[in-house]
Amino acid sequence: MRMDLIQPFINAADAVFAESLQGPTKIGDLSMGEGAYRRKGIAALIAIKGDIEGRIILDLAPEVARKVAAILTGIESADDQVTRETVCELANMVIGNSVTLLNDQGYTFKVFPPEVHTSDQGLAGSIDTEAMVLAIETSCGEIFLNIAMHHLARRRRERNAVPVLR
Amino acid sequence: MAQFAALLRKDSQPVRYLVVDDSVFARKNIIKMVQMFGGEIAGEAGDGLTAIAEFNRTKPDIVLMDITMPQMEGIEAVERIVRQHPDARIVMVSSVGYQENILAALQKGAKHFVQKPVKPEVLYEILRYVLSDDPAAVGAPVAFAGEHRS
């Protein structure tokens, strides 16, 4: 996956977590490949369509999600529904800010509303899909981003570059 | 905690807000902020269609409208509300802050745009600006967090 596509996600996640959770953040492990990712706990999935198409999952271990929900809602012990809502909105803010940065680079998208992701398996890469997992350390614990995307604009350019055989 | 002078209507009554967002959490967050600014909640909606109905029912002073929502997105809802109520004051509140979205919303009649995560002091200034077309609307920040004012 190209660095100019990854960097906006890292920058947006870093900025949104630092602002929302009012604490320091640190970019942790970043892994790429085709291996399936396993969900850590409470996860929200957002689909994007446009020059780059794919799905992004924001995933938090249950205890991390509860700490995040407590900070964002001001409710000491948030119930499961509130915690899931909070994770979805956090995902919405991270992805919204990421695609805003990507749009500044000339990519256009449509972003879909977040849904709770319940499958145990995350998004794996394939020939068509580049996938990565990014861990960000926050004051509440690690927050994972599992990103899988098709880069349609590049594929279009590649197709156009192939001479037509007669 | 930052303190804000109440934003009031021309008749000195609290400003009435319609808060539109598909996330209950996001709505509660915005509601908390506008109440901090002395506002009243006229209604809430989780999608654009409900927002139009709630606007017609409650006639709010200001609508705070998300963009990405199920059923009907915020920009289409803005267009429909402004078509019926050209004086509607609508502020877009979205995490997707790219120029194309902002321009589309403004072209359809939105008055301003604020990107999530929303900072109370930023929202306050935007609301004050949007209300400034009402010359008697009052309100000024007493102090922002971490800022000394003499």
Judging contacts by C-beta atoms under 8 Å, the chain A residues touching residue B28 are: 73
- The pLDDT, as a whole number, for residue B14 is 97
- The pLDDT, as a whole number, for residue A166 is 43
Asked if B96 and A72 come within 8 Å (Cβ–Cβ), the reply is: no
Query: Rounded to the nearest 5 degrees, what angle is found at the Cα of A46, between the Cα atoms of A138 and A159?
Result: 115
**What's the pLDDT tens digit per position in B30-83?**
999 999 999 999 999 999 999 999 999 999 999 999 998 988 999 999 999 999
* Contact (CB, 8 A) for A50 and A107: yes
Distance CA B115, CA A93 (A): 9
pLDDT (mean) for B106-121: 95
Asked if A19 and B119 come within 8 Å (Cβ–Cβ), the reply is: yes
Predicted ipTM?
0.75
3-class secondary structure, A96: helix
Distance CA B114, CA B11 (A): 27
Per DSSP, helices labelled H in chain A are: 3-21, 62-73, 80-104, 152-161
- The pLDDT, as a whole number, for residue A153 is 58
What is the nearest CA distance from A68 to chain B, expressed in angstroms? Answer: 12
Nearest CA in chain B to A92: B95
Task: Return per-residue pLDDT of chain A as tens, 166 residues.
Answer: 667 778 898 899 999 999 999 889 999 888 876 666 778 899 999 998 988 888 899 999 999 999 999 998 888 888 888 899 999 999 999 999 999 998 888 888 888 889 988 777 666 556 666 788 889 999 999 999 988 887 765 545 554 555 544 4
